[in-house]
């Protein structure tokens, strides 16, 4: 977890340089290679667009990044492979004003466009911050469309800080709607993050959450798209994610000699873990290590 925090803080130092640079958006690639799953990351609203930018800058191989917003200025600042401004006729590109109903209507009006973009996708990650207008309203619609297109849909969302009281009820409703539309939802509580890094300014705390979501999605995507000693393919992912329900993400790291037990202990004590994982119906384990990682150590991690 500390590595994620360090990466996030390092990223914020470079952020202003990125914003001053002219962003050239690549054309969205319609063709896909036979046997290669089509993976999309869709960032909805301001928080979702921030995460899209982070993923774009980190670089995730074999994945297309899409940003959706009702706010043209936010969308222009975002970096993604494709950008979609929705609800122009009702928001005039000025945002949803914190109203999820406006965000939902904007997405429904663009349903045809979104269906074309999401067509033939195999795995779709929908990222958003719950509690705002655009992300809360748009994310469930995107998840519903992606599911209609036959994709496995995973929601990766954050919930508001306690100081954002006005967003709490909206977030709860939006999270339920997203859970109904997606196969699996991973909800990360900003308040638990605040307990882990209590002295960070709020902007940097949001940056840590962006980094956490981005590296989680990258880890899942790399598991599918990159070769490894013991491969997990898209079919494995589909089997686990198709079970549905709430998912929990655990992240552990270790540099000690006793890395097997330390990394498991680190994961099970993850500061964002607030769900009892013992009743889980399925599990995906992704282990990354240096050349000194032995098969025995990997087996000990997995069996623990």
Full DSSP string of 221-280: HHHHHS--SS---HHHHHHHHTT-EE---------STTHHHHHHHHHHT-TT--S-GGG-
User: 238 and 296 share a domain?
Assistant: no
Number of domains in the chain: 2
Residue 226, in any domain of the structure: yes
What's the pTM value of the predicted model, to 2 decimals? 0.81
User: 77 and 226 share a domain?
Assistant: yes
User: 194 and 266 share a domain?
Assistant: no
User: 265 and 237 share a domain?
Assistant: no
User: 187 and 286 share a domain?
Assistant: no
Residue 251, in any domain of the structure: no
User: 282 and 164 share a domain?
Assistant: no
Look-up: residue for tokens 């939802």?
Answer: 185
Please say whether the beta carbons of 171 and 137 come within 8 A. Answer: no
pLDDT at 164: 80
User: 90 and 178 share a domain?
Assistant: yes
- pLDDT, tens digit only, all 304 positions of the chain: 777 767 777 776 666 666 555 554 444 444 444 567 899 999 999 999 999 999 999 988 889 999 999 999 999 999 999 999 999 999 999 999 999 999 999 999 999 999 999 999 999 999 999 999 999 999 999 999 999 999 999 999 999 888 788 899 999 999 999 999 999 998 888 888 777 777 888 788 788 888 888 888 888 888 788 766 666 777 777 777 776 677 777 777 888 777 788 888 877 777 666 666 667 777 777 777 878 888 888 888 877 7
Which residue among 246, 267, 292 closes a domain? 246
User: 241 and 276 share a domain?
Assistant: no
Q: Which residues pair with 154 in a beta bridge?
A: 125, 184
Residue 99, in any domain of the structure: yes
pLDDT at 272: 64
pLDDT at 286: 75
pLDDT at 32: 43
User: 134 and 213 share a domain?
Assistant: yes
User: 99 and 217 share a domain?
Assistant: yes
User: 145 and 290 share a domain?
Assistant: no
Show the domain range for 37: 2-246
pLDDT at 28: 42
Residue 153, in any domain of the structure: yes
pLDDT at 201: 84
pLDDT at 27: 45
Tokens of 97: 């004003």
Residue 37, in any domain of the structure: yes
User: 211 and 296 share a domain?
Assistant: no
Residue 254, in any domain of the structure: no
Please say whether the beta carbons of 168 and 191 come within 8 A. Answer: no
pLDDT at 33: 47
Residue 252, in any domain of the structure: no
Q: How far apart are CA 230 and CA 226, in angstroms?
A: 11
Taken in order 107, 127, 196, 74, the sign of the CA dihedral is: negative
Which residue among 224, 246, 268 closes a domain? 246
Residue 253, in any domain of the structure: no
């Amino acid at each position: 977890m500390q590595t994620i925090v360090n990466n996030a803080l390092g990223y914020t130092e470079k952020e202003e340089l990125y914003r001053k640079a002219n962003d050239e958006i690549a054309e969205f690639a319609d063709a896909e290679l036979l046997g290669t799953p089509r993976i999309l990351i869709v960032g909805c609203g301001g928080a979702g667009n921030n995460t899209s930018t982070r993923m774009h800058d980190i670089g995730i191989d074999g994945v297309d990044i899409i940003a959706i917003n009702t706010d043209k200025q936010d969308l222009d600042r975002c970096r993604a492979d494709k950008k979609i401004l929705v609800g122009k006729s009702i928001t005039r590109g000025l945002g949803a004003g914190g109203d999820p109903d406006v965000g939902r209507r904007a997405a429904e009006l663009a349903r045809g466009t979104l269906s074309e973009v999401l067509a033939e996708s195999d795995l779709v990650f929908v990222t958003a911050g719950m509690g705002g207008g655009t992300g809360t309203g748009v994310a469930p619609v995107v998840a519903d469309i992606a599911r209609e297109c036959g994709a496995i849909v995973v929601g990766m969302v954050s919930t508001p800080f306690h100081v954002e009281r006005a967003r709490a009820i909206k977030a709860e409703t939006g999270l339920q709607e997203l859970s109904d539309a997606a196969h699996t939802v991973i909800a990360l509580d900003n308040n638990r993050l605040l307990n882990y890094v209590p002295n960070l300014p709020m902007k940097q705390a949001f940056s840590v959450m962006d980094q956490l979501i981005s590296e989680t999605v990258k880890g899942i995507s790399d598991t599918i798209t990159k070769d490894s000693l013991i491969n997990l393919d898209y079919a494995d992912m589909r089997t686990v994610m198709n079970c549905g329900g709430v998912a929990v993400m655990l992240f552990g790291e270790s540099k000690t000699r006793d890395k097997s037990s330390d990394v498991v202990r680190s994961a099970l004590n993850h500061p964002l873990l607030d769900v009892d994982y013992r009743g889980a119906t399925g599990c995906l384990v992704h282990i990354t290590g240096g050349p000194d990682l032995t098969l025995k150590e990997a087996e000990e991690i997995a069996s623990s």
